[in-house]
A and B are shown apart, each in its own frame.
Chain A
Amino acid sequence: MKSRYSIFSIARNAMNFHKDWERAWRSPEPKAEYDAVIVGAGGHGLATAYYLAKNHKMTNIAIVEKGWLGGGNTGRNTTIIRSNYLQDSSIAIYELARSLYEGLSKELNYNVMFSPRGVLMLCQTEHELRAFKRTAHANRLAGLDCRMITPGEVKEIVPIINDDPACRYPILGAYYQPRGGTGRHDAVAWGYARGADSMGVDVIQNCEVTNIIREGGKVVGLATSRGVIKTKKVGVVTAGNVSGLMQRAGIRMPIESLCLQALVSEPIKPVLDCVVMANTVHGYISQSDKGELVIGGGTDPYNNYSQRGSFPSLEHTVTALVETFPIISRLRMLRLWGGIVDMTGDRSPIISKTDVEGLYVNCGWGTGGFKAIPGSGYVFADTIANDRPHKIAVPFGLSRFAEGRLIDESVAAAVAH
């Protein structure tokens, strides 16, 4: 068991000029065989490994990662956490995740800086206003703490917003989830990695999976850049890179990999203490604790594995936000980056068993995966441990695409895609 982080451990380590901190996780060599192996050490994979060990007592497991942990989309998102989706299946998983986030820092003994500062989704057309009212009713039936607010309340919560009723997209109201907010993305990955490691899970970085070895329709192991690892259960959680890996196991995926960009401005004094999403003009914004404005928008409209997005998408996002928040027009942008998101046809994720015995897949989180990390890991671990979908995961099976049983969040929900 690892030593706990506390004010006393900080004081104790300060005496030694912080030279003797224990490593947060080991870097073990892969063993010859494990009970289960998770492929992909992003937030979802690490959470899966953590809950497999914690809830299902599977500690002889490993998580393998071709790069470094949390180096993909987990470290590239805009850290928004909310659960106000339209469909019941979506609400169930995103609200499980959001509620787990509330206690996560304490559970992991690692500060994930969950900040329920409120998420405010602007209504800038009559159509959008009606659509959000519908979502508000659906969410109220599901027991979510969300409500519609008036333009006056929006101005009170976000004083820097452009409330000119004559502008191209005036503020007609907003849909508000006060318990949504942001978190520290890296800390979520690191916290889960430390938690999993302390229960005996091997976190193996720089280990690329090159093939899923099968015998008679069953998984028997993984071929990796560091040798063959025998295992009877494999959970693939590789986001934008899922198609190629699953194809090696003979499974086609309903996924297209697109680039989604985000950017941050130079740090400024506090001007915005909640998350604002403007879906009509297509941009979302929050202010980090460092003072940077964190900005995201929509994906590029074509397949991309390069982690570099196109300039027109970026310009579109920034234009939209300058219209909505005129005071940011002269801010300089510090950094911008792209992540490869895995988009499904209905814009809902896939948490599923497959036709290959012992092979499970968790992907398709598209542009909104960060908010779902704890819930996704929780139900995927349960699915792997018991070899049947967790009740929240049932609607997210791969078979829905052949059955026409879509969870249509792409046009129905309050989601910026």
Chain B
Amino acid sequence: MLLVHCPVCGAEGDETDFHGGGQAHVRRPATHDPANVGDAAQGEYLFMRHNARGLHFERWRCDRSCGKWFHAARDTVTMEFKAFYGITELPPRALMEAATGEWAAYFKDKLAAGKSS
């Protein structure tokens, strides 16, 4: 049983009060790079997923309280939540630095640009 905290309204509850929305930070090609929307980019957007073993970043929705989407960082082996943060935000810098594999590659330029919530 996961215990979830909504960073928007502050609600606390178990996983049945929330809805897991899959991988976070998936970018829609038509929004971010409209000139280069091809089959490969669209297939990537719709189906290819970071499937991290360990630190993972995902979207959740606060089903039974405010109804807002938010982000969470969670370890997929220990099932422990590491942070909850807003839907427009990046994770805390320490977590971006701790990320491995595809997530590390994704956060690399964001860390370099010094952006962090």
Measuring CB to CB, which residues of chain A are less than 8 angstroms from any residue of chain B?
A: 241, 243-244, 247, 252-257, 301-306, 308, 310-312, 344-345, 401-404
Measuring CB to CB, which residues of chain B are less than 8 angstroms from any residue of chain A?
A: 1-2, 14-16, 19-20, 22-23, 39-40, 42-44, 46-49, 51-54, 56, 58, 74, 76-79, 101-102
Does the CB pair B76–A303 fall under 8 Å?
A: yes
Q: Pick the residue among B20, B46, B74, B101 that contacts A401 (CB under 8 A).
A: B46
A345–B48 alpha-carbon span in the complex (Å): 9
Does the CB pair A306–B77 fall under 8 Å?
A: yes
Does the CB pair B102–A247 fall under 8 Å?
A: yes
Does the CB pair B51–A344 fall under 8 Å?
A: no
Looking at chain A's contact residues, the main secondary structure is mixed
* Residue among A257, A311, A401 with max Cβ neighbours from chain B (10 Å): A401
* Residue among A253, A302, A310, A404 with max Cβ neighbours from chain B (10 Å): A302
A301–B23 alpha-carbon span in the complex (Å): 12
Q: How far is the CB of A318 from chain B (nearest CB, A)?
A: 15
* Residue among B2, B47, B51, B58 with max Cβ neighbours from chain A (10 Å): B51
A303–B20 alpha-carbon span in the complex (Å): 9
What chain B residues lie within 8 Å of A401 (beta carbons)?
Answer: 43, 46-48
A401–B41 alpha-carbon span in the complex (Å): 10
A252–B44 alpha-carbon span in the complex (Å): 9
What chain B residues lie within 8 Å of A312 (beta carbons)?
Answer: 1, 14-16
What chain B residues lie within 8 Å of A344 (beta carbons)?
Answer: 47
What chain B residues lie within 8 Å of A302 (beta carbons)?
Answer: 2, 15, 20, 58, 74
For this complex, 22 residue pairs linking A to B, each with C-beta atoms less than 8 Å apart, are A241-B53, A243-B49, A244-B53, A244-B101, A252-B44, A252-B48, A252-B102, A253-B48, A254-B48, A256-B51, A257-B51, A301-B20, A302-B15, A303-B56, A306-B79, A345-B46, A345-B47, A401-B43, A402-B39, A403-B39, A403-B43, A404-B39
Q: Pick the residue among A241, A243, A310, A403 that contacts B2 (CB under 8 A).
A: A310
Looking at chain B's contact residues, the main secondary structure is mixed
A252-B102, A303-B76 given; A311·B1 CB < 8 A: yes
A402–B39 alpha-carbon span in the complex (Å): 5
Q: For A302, give the chain B residue with the smallest CB separation.
A: B20
What chain A residues lie within 8 Å of B42 (beta carbons)?
Answer: 402, 404
* Residue among A241, A306, A311, A402 with max Cβ neighbours from chain B (10 Å): A402
- The 8 A-B pairs at the shortest CB distance, nearest first, are namely A402-B43, A243-B51, A254-B47, A302-B20, A345-B47, A401-B47, A401-B43, A252-B48
A306-B76, A306-B77, A402-B40 given; A301·B48 CB < 8 A: no
Does the CB pair B79–A304 fall under 8 Å?
A: yes
A401–B14 alpha-carbon span in the complex (Å): 34
Does the CB pair B51–A310 fall under 8 Å?
A: no
Q: Pick the residue among B19, B47, B51, B78 that contacts A306 (CB under 8 A).
A: B78
Q: For A251, give the chain B residue with the smallest CB separation.
A: B48
A253–B44 alpha-carbon span in the complex (Å): 9
Q: How far is the CB of A67 from chain B (nearest CB, A)?
A: 15
A247-B101, A311-B1, A402-B40 given; A305·B49 CB < 8 A: no
Q: How far is the CB of A397 from chain B (nearest CB, A)?
A: 12
Query: Besides the contacts A252-B48, A301-B20, what 13 more A-B pairs have beta carbons closer than 8 Å?
Result: A252-B102, A255-B51, A257-B51, A302-B15, A304-B76, A304-B79, A305-B53, A306-B78, A306-B79, A310-B1, A401-B47, A402-B40, A403-B43
What chain A residues lie within 8 Å of B2 (beta carbons)?
Answer: 302, 310
A240–B78 alpha-carbon span in the complex (Å): 16
Q: Pick the residue among B20, B39, B58, B76 that contacts A305 (CB under 8 A).
A: B76
What chain A residues lie within 8 Å of B23 (beta carbons)?
Answer: 256
What chain A residues lie within 8 Å of B47 (beta carbons)?
Answer: 254, 344-345, 401
Q: How far is the CB of A170 from chain B (nearest CB, A)?
A: 27
Does the CB pair B15–A310 fall under 8 Å?
A: yes
Q: How far is the CB of A240 from chain B (nearest CB, A)?
A: 9
Does the CB pair A303–B58 fall under 8 Å?
A: yes
Q: How far is the CB of B47 from chain A (nearest CB, A)?
A: 4
* Residue among A254, A303, A345 with max Cβ neighbours from chain B (10 Å): A303
Q: For B72, give the chain A residue with the smallest CB separation.
A: A302
